[in-house]
Amino acid sequence: MTSASLDHYFDSFRTQFVLPSGLIYLDGNSLGVLPKASSVAVQRAVEHEWGQDLIRSWNTADWINAPERCGDKIAKLIGANEGEVVACDSTSVNLFKVLVSALKLAEHDPSRNVIVSDIDNFPTDLYIAQGLRELLTSRSLELRFVKHDEVADAIDAKTAVVMLTEVDYRTGERYDMRVMTAHAQANGAMMIWDLAHSAGAFSVELNACNADFAVGCGYKYLNGGPGAPAFVFAANRHLQALDAINAPAPISGWFAHAAPFAFESEFRVTRGAKRFLVGTPPILQFAAFEASLDIWLTVDMGKIREQSLVLTDLFIREVEARCGSTRSPQAELTLATPRAHHARGSQVSFRHSEGYAIMQALIARNVIGDFRAPDILRFGFTPLYVTKQDVVAAATHLENILATCEWDQPKFKQKQAVT
Amino acid sequence: MTSASLDHYFDSFRTQFVLPSGLIYLDGNSLGVLPKASSVAVQRAVEHEWGQDLIRSWNTADWINAPERCGDKIAKLIGANEGEVVACDSTSVNLFKVLVSALKLAEHDPSRNVIVSDIDNFPTDLYIAQGLRELLTSRSLELRFVKHDEVADAIDAKTAVVMLTEVDYRTGERYDMRVMTAHAQANGAMMIWDLAHSAGAFSVELNACNADFAVGCGYKYLNGGPGAPAFVFAANRHLQALDAINAPAPISGWFAHAAPFAFESEFRVTRGAKRFLVGTPPILQFAAFEASLDIWLTVDMGKIREQSLVLTDLFIREVEARCGSTRSPQAELTLATPRAHHARGSQVSFRHSEGYAIMQALIARNVIGDFRAPDILRFGFTPLYVTKQDVVAAATHLENILATCEWDQPKFKQKQAVT
């Protein structure tokens, strides 16, 4: 597709989002922008469904099936089948559930007690595994968290589970899902993918890569709104295996019961992916999220990736030309993201020892990215609403901030609660 | 206070809620009505905070502290201190967390491996305990679920935790929190209260009763909206004890980390009630919930109880006069709720073998209660927006439906997904 026709393709999506005037928003990998349809959907959910229909909306507005319904919509974006995905809880809680489930399926071989991950994985993933080690004392879990390049070698006959985030939240470096999944499975381990920076960033092919389990986030590229429900994927073969051994739900709340409204006193686990549900779903968040998913279902994910690479290549080129190695050290940004297309997602990160202050100065100029300790300036590129003009303008602002040391002011160095 | 002045007191609250025209809503114990302020707050959160300020709202709108801020507001309604309550996740997930925490504190005595509960407890509470028994195999947990009247005797030197819902979701029968807590503790056990049908129904006095842990629901009497965040209470002495032994968080997500935005790879648990947080909070639900809590903070809980008893007494009297034992068996409703004030919450339940169809017929007349298997017609009374006129009108509708067997139609017998 030509560059102009790609731009034209995305123009029709851009109008479907609320884009604050004068703002260049390169943080859709942290919180996606507001779809206009989500605003309408939330208002309807509040005023009409809650306000007027009240408790009846569980049936009349089909609130009760929101987790499965949204799960099936997400499935189409991540290469999963109907019935393999539910939307619920937070990514952290969901990772807890899939780890418990994968360990359950692995427990026939007690010698496999190792969870392998990348030490630079998003911390909550590591924390959840650390917590499980403390909780499941009888499993004597061992955690093997190693550098990106050492992950493959760390997988061996003692490995129960490999748990990776496909795209590194700091550098944007991307694992090869197909290769790593095959490698884990060749060693007899289960492969869990965290799709936080994948879903909505490019076409994910969970089943084509034979992934075992996955979790992901609703509020980043998927534009589901702040604190949107996260999601869980389990390959159908594992759902069937869990059903076959009548495995308990990982957190056995009433929404994982075979008949929640029969109010039985004995837990009977439901079939399929609903085993990952726990309690009452957050309906207002679902209203926002589902409206965004309905936009996503009209998007050509191949074009998303094509335009994402156009935008990220352009940003790398523009920033390196303006703030590259020919400048003084203080005005220099170092690319942290791999250049090769296959080795990255839809974000570009640069390093600078004063990254925090530089990002604050940039935000003060209405260009929003974010900072990740210790030295990463992080920029997310979301073709649905970010243009080439935005990219060039952002690079220009960066150049000016660096050239004049505009960032070197106390107000930009003061740390905020959330960075 | 005189009856008229009580009515007058609540008139000023009634106007703060959206009350659908022609509807008599006696289901605020399942989903509270929409506060007008919540509607405004959600719209602001969507349009302004998400739509315009985007990621910056974590700081500028203080999204990041919503769980603690709302927790502190809830604390005032349930007799807890600042810092002892956080709002988060669902009641089911929160019960999982407090059970894990209570068991952690009890583990110095391995002979205590029994969880005692009421077999008629809300099923998800029982399910969560059943799931934990499967998960924590090394603890060899034994579950002792007995009838209401047998709970006290079931508590013994092997009991680690007693877990009860203060007000029975079906019958409305209420435990004596003070007596049962003291009895559990006299036997060396931890006492966990589920306040699903207590918070907002009457003044709860957790600390005055020396409760150990509690969980509760945001979307019932507290009017927090469908799928509102639930809450967790832990007595300060236990928070300190957990801190002292550096107990891991029950589900150790990044929001339970001492410095979540330092992105450290090693989990370091935070101090205090924030140890019960896990992942990113659902901000739109918090916007709705907090606006409702701000109304609650202006309510005199003593007057809530006084009017609740006026309304429930009136309903019992009216229904028994119209559908009592002088009628034909088919037209007769049997009170399932204790008459004694101290022995009930803010709901009244009647039994009838055709309860489901009768409730559907009542709903068709725009009087909303709900049905709980096998035979319970359940009515919640919420003084903030239910009047004596509503109560009498509801009883009149019930009388008519029963007298003419209006319920005896196929359309009223067809079961819906959610009852």
CATH of the domain at A348: 3.90.1150.10
3-state secondary structure of A111: coil
Please list every residue in chain A whose beta carbon sits closer than 8 Å to the beta carbon of residue B119: 265
No. of helices (H) and no. of strands (E), chain B: 14, 13
Regarding whether B238 and B318 lie in a shared domain, the answer is no
Residues B1-27 pLDDT 10s: 788 999 999 999 999 999 999 999 999
Regarding whether B314 and B356 lie in a shared domain, the answer is yes
Regarding whether A121 and A173 lie in a shared domain, the answer is yes
List all residues of chain A from 101 to 120 with a beta carbon under 8 Å from chain B.
119-120
Residue A270 belongs to a domain:
yes
Q: Which two tokens stand for residue B115?
A: 């969880």
Please list every residue in chain B whose beta carbon sits closer than 8 Å to the beta carbon of residue A30: 55
CATH of the domain at B230: 3.40.640.10
CB contact under 8 A, A372 and B263: yes
CB contact under 8 A, B119 and A265: yes
Res B326: pLDDT: 65
Residues B38-53 pLDDT 10s: 999 999 999 999 999 9
Residue A35 belongs to a domain:
no
What burial class does residue B335 get, using C-beta atoms within 10 Å of its C-beta: 0-12 exposed, 13-18 middle, 19+ buried? middle
Please list every residue in chain B whose beta carbon sits closer than 8 Å to the beta carbon of residue A363: 56
By Cβ distance, the residue of B119, B226, B373 closest to A63 is B226
Res A27: pLDDT: 98
Residues A31-80 pLDDT 10s: 999 999 999 999 999 999 999 999 999 999 999 999 999 999 999 999 99
By Cβ distance, the residue of B55, B261, B284 closest to A368 is B55
CB contact under 8 A, A261 and B370: no
Residue A418 belongs to a domain:
no
Q: Which two tokens stand for residue A102?
A: 């994968």
pLDDT category, A118, cuts 50, 70, 90?
very high
The answer, yes or no, to whether residue A122 has pLDDT greater than 80, is yes
What average pLDDT score do residues A197-223 get? 98
Residues B248-297 pLDDT 10s: 999 999 999 999 999 999 999 999 999 999 999 999 999 999 999 999 99
| Residue with tokens 């919509």, as numbered in its chain | A73
Regarding whether B382 and B326 lie in a shared domain, the answer is yes
The answer, yes or no, to whether residue A419 has pLDDT greater than 90, is no
What are the residue numbers of the active site of B?
122, 194, 219-220, 378
Q: Which two tokens stand for residue B376?
A: 């319970």
Known active-site residue A194: yes
Determine contact, residues B359/B377, Cβ cutoff 8 Å.
Answer: yes
Residues B104-162 pLDDT 10s: 999 999 999 999 999 999 999 999 999 999 999 989 999 999 999 999 999 999 999 99
Regarding whether B203 and B287 lie in a shared domain, the answer is yes
What average pLDDT score do residues A378-404 get? 97
Residue B35 belongs to a domain:
no
Q: How far is CA B398 from CA A172, B158, B256, B335, B336, in A?
A: 63, 48, 50, 14, 16
Res A326: pLDDT: 64
Res B30: pLDDT: 97
Distance of alpha carbon A179 from alpha carbon A182, whole angstroms: 5
By Cβ distance, the residue of B58, B126, B264 closest to A123 is B264
What average pLDDT score do residues A125-138 get? 96
Res B208: pLDDT: 98
List all residues of chain A from 50 to 79 with a beta carbon under 8 Å from chain B.
50-59, 63-65
Res A295: pLDDT: 98
How many domains does the structure of chain A reveal?
A: 2
The answer, yes or no, to whether residue A416 has pLDDT greater than 90, is no
Which residues are bridge partners to B234 per DSSP?
B213
- Decide which of B261, B296, B331 is a domain's last residue: B296
**Contact residues for A5 (Cβ-Cβ < 8 A; gap 6+):** none
Please indicate if any CB of chain A lies within 8 Å of the CB of B124. yes
Optimal mutation site among B24, B54, B134, B292, interface A, most CBs of chain A within 10 A: B54
CB contact under 8 A, A91 and B419: no
pLDDT category, A320, cuts 50, 70, 90?
very high
What average pLDDT score do residues A244-254 get? 96
CB contact under 8 A, A252 and B127: yes
The answer, yes or no, to whether residue B327 has pLDDT greater than 70, is no
What rounded mean pLDDT belongs to chain A? 96
Distance of alpha carbon A335 from alpha carbon A313, whole angstroms: 12
Please indicate if any CB of chain B lies within 8 Å of the CB of A285. yes
Distance of alpha carbon A275 from alpha carbon A86, whole angstroms: 9
Residue B419 belongs to a domain:
no
Residue B317 belongs to a domain:
yes
- CA A413 to the chain's CA centroid: 29
What rounded mean pLDDT belongs to chain B? 96
Residue B401 belongs to a domain:
yes
Optimal mutation site among A133, A278, A376, A415, interface B, most CBs of chain B within 10 A: A278
Res A327: pLDDT: 63
Res B10: pLDDT: 97
CA angle B307, B311, B316 (to 5 degrees): 145
CB contact under 8 A, B251 and A128: yes
Regarding whether B25 and B110 lie in a shared domain, the answer is no
CB contact under 8 A, A123 and B58: no
- Decide which of A296, A327, A359 is a domain's last residue: A296
Res A200: pLDDT: 98
What average pLDDT score do residues A363-387 get? 96
Regarding whether B286 and B375 lie in a shared domain, the answer is no
User: What is the distance in angstroms between the Cα of A249 and the nearest Cα belonging to chain B?
Assistant: 7
Q: What is the ipTM of this complex?
A: 0.98
- Decide which of B264, B296, B328 is a domain's last residue: B296
Optimal mutation site among A17, A127, A169, interface B, most CBs of chain B within 10 A: A127
Residue B273 belongs to a domain:
yes
Regarding whether A259 and A310 lie in a shared domain, the answer is no
Regarding whether B310 and B285 lie in a shared domain, the answer is no
Regarding whether A305 and A292 lie in a shared domain, the answer is no
What range defines the domain where residue A222 resides? Answer: 40-296
| Chains A & B: contacts with CB separation below 8 Å | 292
Regarding whether B173 and B185 lie in a shared domain, the answer is yes
Regarding whether A49 and A17 lie in a shared domain, the answer is no
